[in-house]
A = this chain, B = another copy of it.
Amino acid sequence: MSGLRERQKADRHRRIIDAATELFREAGYEGAKIEAIAARAEVSIGTIYNYYQNKGDILGAIVSMEVNEVLNAGQGVVASPPANVGDALDTLIGIYIEHSLNYLSKEMWRQAMAISTQLPDSPFGQAYTGLDRELTKQISALIARLQEIGLVRVDIDGAAVGELIFNNMNMMFIEFVKRDEAKIPELRAAIRRQNRVLVAAIGT
């Protein structure tokens, strides 16, 4: 099962992703020519297209890794949230936002988001939509957890509130990556302010 071909394939995948990650950061998404990625990965252009349907999918693979890390980090908060609705939400959202620029620059985020709406049916488009859904579910799970603990009224529609909070956060994040000078603390403060009405309404 683990013949030479398998190992070579895995190795090429890694080399392509590594080369692309470096070049995207060095030259930006547009600036990173496929030819250059191929050269740095020591692979031909054709091989890249054998592994990824298009340039966007290469970026997509990088984005997916990052979002999966964030989802993982979020699990901890859902499992044992701060004992206060506002703080619980702020902590989870904080994890998302603070991790977001670890591997990806704002420009990479912009491109990734653009591609996911431009080509919703491409491999990456579908993966991105799936990741958004996972994040929404995680926020809803936090609300459900808070309902169990007795911090949130059990008669509120947790799924709907989770969607509302995620959609607002996501839109704010989109505006955030669109402005290079926008700063993380301001983003978090703005989202906290927007959530305040909601937090007051759903808390016990």
Interface residues of A (CB under 8 A from B): 110-111, 113-115, 117-118, 120, 125, 129, 156-157, 160-161, 163-164, 167-168, 170-172, 174-175, 177-179, 193-198, 200-202
* Residue among B164, B170, B201 making CB contact with A200, cutoff 8 Å: B201
Residue of B at shortest CB range from A128?
B178
- Chain B residues near A129: list those with CB within 8 A: 175, 178
* Residue among B117, B196, B201 making CB contact with A110, cutoff 8 Å: B117
* Residue among B114, B163, B193 making CB contact with A117, cutoff 8 Å: B114
Q: Give Cα A194 to B193, complex, Å.
A: 18
Residue of B at shortest CB range from A113?
B117
- Chain B residues near A115: list those with CB within 8 A: 114
CB proximity of A38 to chain B, nearest CB, Å: 23
* Residue among B125, B160, B193, B201 making CB contact with A160, cutoff 8 Å: B193
* Residue among B110, B161, B172, B177 making CB contact with A167, cutoff 8 Å: B172
Q: Give Cα A178 to B167, complex, Å.
A: 15
Q: Give Cα A114 to B117, complex, Å.
A: 6
Contact A114 B120 (CB under 8 A): no
Residue of B at shortest CB range from A172?
B167
- Chain B residues near A160: list those with CB within 8 A: 193-194, 196-197
- Chain B residues near A174: list those with CB within 8 A: 117
* Residue among B125, B167, B195 making CB contact with A171, cutoff 8 Å: B167
Q: Give Cα A45 to B134, complex, Å.
A: 45
- Chain B residues near A172: list those with CB within 8 A: 167
Q: Give Cα A125 to B157, complex, Å.
A: 36
Residue of B at shortest CB range from A129?
B178
Q: A113-B117, A178-B117, A201-B198 are in contact. Are A164 and B168 (CB under 8 A)?
A: yes
- Chain B residues near A194: list those with CB within 8 A: 160-161, 163-164, 167
Contact B198 A197 (CB under 8 A): yes
- Chain B residues near A197: list those with CB within 8 A: 156-157, 160-161, 164, 198, 201-202
